Amino acid sequence: MSFASLLGLVILVLALAAWLLLLWSAIEPLLWLVIRRIVAPRGLVRTAATLARLCRGGFEHDLRGGSALAGALALAARGAHDERLATWLEGQLGKPGALGAAGVVAAGLIAASRGQRDAARDLMHNAAGFDAERAPAAARVVANEWLVADAAERGDWGTVMRLGVRRDVASAQTRFLAFAAARVRRQPLIDEPSATDAGLRWLWWRTPDRGRTRPLLLQALATPRVMHSRKPTPKPPEPAPPPLDPAEFAGDPVAYAQALHALWTAAEAAWRNLSPTHLAGLCKAWDAAFAGPALARLAARVQVLTTVTKAEAALAQIRRSVADDLAQLASRAQIPLSALTEAGGVGAEAGLLLRAELLTEVEKQNQALRLRTQQKRKLPAVEELREWNSLRRAYERAVLLGGLELRRLMFPDIHLHVCNYAVWLWNDRKEYGISGPLFRWLLTEAEAVGDEEAIVLQRKNVGVK
């Protein structure tokens, strides 16, 4: 064979290969659509995972995660959770190699299939923090769809309207939920036109789960369109009479404090309406019960009820129990710590208890992370995310209740140990998708507390000048 013939054959083979690659790049999105719309809804976990391995372009940097994501979508579509298949998928995610956003979303779907909604929500939010090269578009769309559907189930329509129309991850399903929620709430979406009846029907028709969303469609169609942002102020509902009226015991400080305490702690979901003013009033009621003549009567009652413990010791136990109840009540209703400390008396004692609880929980988890980093004890990537999410939630809860003072107190230790942990993940484990968002989180916190040294370090870590 002459050189010219050989060269021509090579050119022909290369041209044919290029055409095949071009053809496959056009077919691949269709294959993912088939997996999502046909294979996964039928609960074919292994089939979906196997087919997804062919989607090399869409999951170029996270092929293992893309396969697990397809399988997890099928697992979530099953009528009942199959732990055997869930364990098999987790085995795929646990193989060596850095975890990408698709794998994190798959882990979230597996957690949701087990009924672990809080863990699933955390993992879906984690996926949003991944760098673009490790966050395939398909994975980000699935995560957003799950978050929007979860918010709709919880009645969090504000989140549905905010996430449902995000330009980069919105799908037909999320757009329908957002526009229907806006119609039902009689509020326009930001930078979006008000949907007509025909537009709502068209959005609904494009959703894959029309049977479940049909009641929302009918409710939205029955609500008149809102053409502007102004909406009438609704008439406040008439307050329901309390199951127990503390005013009936106003003449007796001890009985009044007990009745008010029972109203906020024993009545079902009463804490949802608790305000800082209500909490301060409850603290003052107990201060009155623990003072003057009322204290003497309370001591006499305690003496009658106990024959072993001295009245003074029993009163101290009662006061401690009241303070503990007040601390837990403030925590549940997310009342700022300052509302307790400013109340003084038993309220200030409750504030100290709550402050110690918040700091102890953060310190316990932070030190556990420090020890594991020092010992270089590895966990599977998904478990690393779970441990980090647990620490982050404890820290953010303490910040929510304790404010800037607690934030500044906790941050130095948090910054030291979380930064070391993120460096270990980055340098030794090559888990760039997990460690990158940790550096960005640390930068946000450093800027919030004004730690200039930490700001300089974390800007360097995230590549921000």
Residue 240 belongs to a domain: no
Residue predicted with more confidence, 235 or 129: 129
**Distance in angstroms (rounded) separating the CA atoms of residues 284 and 256:** 11
Residue 188 belongs to a domain: yes
Q: Would you state the pLDDT for residue 230?
A: 47
For the chain, give the mean pLDDT.
83
**Distance in angstroms (rounded) separating the CA atoms of residues 174 and 146:** 9
In this prediction, residue 20 has a pLDDT band, given cuts at 50, 70 and 90, of: very low
Domain identity same for 365 and 432: yes
Q: Would you state the pLDDT for residue 22?
A: 47
Domain identity same for 177 and 291: no
- Of 410, 427, 307, 413, which is closest to residue 356 (Cα–Cα)? 410
For 4, 446, 461, 465, the CA distances from 455, given in Å and listed in that order, are 63, 5, 10, 11
Give pLDDT tens digits for 107-162: 999 999 999 998 899 888 888 777 766 678 888 889 999 999 999 888 888 888 88
| Last residue in a domain, options 310, 335, 360 | 335
| Last residue in a domain, options 110, 135, 153 | 153
Give pLDDT tens digits for 156-196: 888 888 888 888 888 888 988 988 888 888 877 777 777 78
Mean pLDDT along residues 356-371: 95
Residue 346 belongs to a domain: no
| Last residue in a domain, options 200, 228, 256 | 228
**Distance in angstroms (rounded) separating the CA atoms of residues 381 and 277:** 45
Domain identity same for 68 and 135: yes
Residue 431 belongs to a domain: yes
Residue 238 belongs to a domain: no
Q: Would you state the pLDDT for residue 15?
A: 57
Domain identity same for 124 and 51: yes
Domain identity same for 11 and 139: yes
Domain identity same for 33 and 138: yes
Domain identity same for 330 and 366: no
Domain identity same for 65 and 131: yes
pLDDT over 70 (residue 26): no
Q: Which of 265-269, 316-320, 370-374, 383-387 reaches the highest mean pLDDT?
A: 370-374
Q: How many CB atoms lie within 10 A of CB 115?
A: 9
- Give the residue numbers spanning the domain of 324: 246-335
Domain identity same for 263 and 166: no
Give pLDDT tens digits for 324-347: 999 999 998 899 999 999 988 999
Question: In total, how many domains does the chain have?
Answer: 4
Domain identity same for 32 and 144: yes
Domain identity same for 21 and 134: yes
Domain identity same for 296 and 281: yes
Q: What is the DSSP letter of 133?
A: G
